[in-house]
Chains A and B, each alone.
Chain A
Amino acid sequence: MLNYVIKRVALAIPTLLILIVISFLLMHAAPGGPFTSEKPLPPQVMANIAAKYGLDQPLWKQMVNYIWGILTHFDFGPSFKYKDRTVNDIIAQGFPITLTYGFYSFVVAIVTGMALGIAAAVKQNTWIDYFAVGISIGAQVLPNFVMAPILVLIFTLWLNWLPGGGWNGGQWQYLVMPVIALSTSYMASIARITRSSMLEVLNTNYIRTAKAKGLPWSKVIIRHALKPSLLPVISYLGPAFVGLITGSVVIDMYFSTGGMGYFFVNSATNRDYSVMMGITILVGTLTVLFNLIVDLLYAWIDPKIRY
């Protein structure tokens, strides 16, 4: 186990470094520096600005400084567009919001998805099964950017039940639609995966034995069938996490929740490279960490897994 942990951690570090290097090089491949404007500044001023932000140093040194800044005091540098803000300020403002509704969406997707999948498998070929399969097929073609306008149309414009956007400190009315829009397609995938793995498990010999020895059906499901059928779901959590965090960009833009996605898209249209890079790296780090946790969890649950 320890060996496996070390191996996985050893793979996570180069992943992050590569991500940082890619985004750093991309940023420097951009035509025009961050301070080129329509009115050209005098060369002396340009030189001063370049010196202030360390842009006069060789590329590798800038990169080392940047990585060093992140590693030692979690400093992503200044924003190139807003003189009074650093990338850290922006992350501190947007990240808690993203985290809040992201967390709820994740929980909703897992709980409803698994419940639907288990119900469908246990009652195979009944109306519950057809209902669950129908929902999970339908929801698959409803990504967040399709769900969001449909929800607003129904609940805000027609029924007038929920506010069409905003955050307002995360009150529940403002959370409902972002969470549903974000979690639907992952709920569908989790339901599908749970159903098929549960069906597979229910056909195994040890389940037949458990039934034959007279265990009540609910006990068979909970005690014997649930744990092994969870494995594929757990391995899906990594991709689901990436999907949720990517989808949060749409949520932030559409519902004006003010999370990180809003700043990301905004900086993309403003060419504020340092903010984009900071957010990309932060998201990448989270992804890598989360995948690491999922893999370790997987190895812990299923002792057969060894790489």
Chain B
Amino acid sequence: MLVDKNKLEATAERMAGMDTVKGRSLWADARTRFMRNKAAVISLFVLMLVILFAFTGQFFAAWSNEEIDWAILGQVRELGYPSFETGHYFGADELGRDLYARVVQGSRISLMVGVVGTFIAVFVGTLYGAIAGYMGGRVDQIMMRIVDVLMAIPYMFVLILMLVVFGRSIFMLFVGIGLLSWLDMSRIVRGQTLSIKNKEFVEAAQATGVPTFRIIVRHIIPNLLGIVAIYASLIVPGMIMAESFISFLGLGVQEPDTSWGALISEGAKTMSYGTLWQLAFPLAFFVVTLFSLYFIGDGLRDALDPKDR
């Protein structure tokens, strides 16, 4: 077999350049796998656009979210349609407010609920699950029974009860949604902890006398991050949906604040007047975002946990 001399030389040259082989970490591996998943990458791009829209969209708005366009008030159906001339890119709502500005505002709140709720769920769930799993025995039994009991409670009803009792505010919504959604996370984390805690490095830490809590935080939790990342990305859409559900019922965010759920609800109420854009734009943002979040979650799962397919 003839050896292509040019190719050989090129290879040799390339090899000479790589005097140190760069190791590939778990995360670098996962990144390459994630990048190979087209649906996930496109979704990530779309999600970036939505986030960009939510946080910088107000700079391009012709109207603020509080201003009322008196010129079209009362004739929203005839004059409030989406148009670049009037500056209402997405049209106006029945109070003459600019829907574009409202959607920007609503997207911001919906996305923030997703992030903050997930953050609380991750924080509480990881710590709780890691402690239960690492301690084992009776502590584990009691802690997981508590999770079982809480899981059986229809949490949307309790959440609404909480919101009514403590007053409706975005803060309460964040806390409520976060606090009621760490349960799944804690179960998953506990399971993973059980398989980690008998590894040699944990034994080594125990042998050198590292305090228990420190072992959990420094040795157990970093090794859980992969699975935590996967499930965190999978619960973000759930958070956004929960918030939208409550706001759709009119029990969540309050005027002048808004969210996708509240906007969809407004649009649904007014669609019989023919102002369809009030439903279409918030709905489109909601559906597109959830879609991309699901695909990103799937991509992350495939990337970080390749054996589980």
Contacts and interface: CB of A to CB of B under 8 A. Distances in A.
Interface of A: 11-12, 14-15, 18-19, 22-23, 26-27, 29-31, 137, 140-143, 145-146, 148-150, 152-153, 157, 164, 242, 245-246, 249-250, 253-254, 264-265, 268-269, 271, 273, 276-277, 279-280, 283-284, 287-288, 291
A276 B161 contact: yes
Contacts of A150: 283
Contact of B287 (A146, A273, A276): A146
B149 interface: yes
B187 to A, nearest CB: 13
B152 A291 contact: yes
B245 A250 contact: yes
Contacts of B276: 153
Contacts of B272: 157, 164
A181 to B, nearest CB: 11
A253 B153 contact: no
Given A149-B268, A287-B154, A11 B160 contact: no
Contacts of A164: 272
Given A149-B268, A149-B279, A153-B279, A15 B152 contact: yes
B164 A271 contact: yes
B156 A246 contact: yes
Contact of B164 (A12, A157, A268): A268
Interface in B158-208: 158, 160-167
B153 A148 contact: no
Nearest to A19: B153
Interface residues on B, range: 35 or more
A283 B271 CA distance: 32
A130 B157 CA distance: 37
Contact of B271 (A14, A27, A153): A153
29 contacts: A11-B148, A12-B152, A14-B149, A15-B153, A18-B153, A19-B158, A22-B153, A23-B158, A23-B161, A26-B158, A26-B165, A143-B241, A145-B245, A145-B248, A146-B264, A146-B283, A150-B283, A153-B271, A157-B271, A157-B272, A250-B248, A254-B268, A273-B164, A276-B157, A279-B157, A284-B152, A284-B157, A287-B152, A287-B153
A157 B249 CA distance: 22
A284 B155 CA distance: 9
A146 to B, nearest CB: 6
Nearest to B249: A265
A246 B294 contact: no
A264 B287 contact: no
Nearest to A247: B245
Contacts of A283: 154, 157
B154 A11 contact: no
B261 interface: yes
B286 to A, nearest CB: 7
B290 interface: yes
B251 A268 contact: yes
Nearest to B167: A31
A250 B148 CA distance: 27
Given A268-B251, A284-B153, A288-B152, A276 B268 contact: no
A164 to B, nearest CB: 8
Contact of A280 (B149, B157, B268): B157
Contacts of A157: 271-272
B250 interface: yes
Contacts of B251: 265, 268-269
A123 to B, nearest CB: 21
B263 to A, nearest CB: 11
B267 interface: yes
Given A27-B165, A29-B165, A246-B154, A149 B245 contact: no
Interface in B118-176: 145, 148-150, 152-154, 156-158, 160-167
B265 interface: yes
A287 B157 CA distance: 12
A19 B276 CA distance: 42
B294 A140 contact: yes
Contacts of B154: 242, 245-246, 280, 283-284, 287
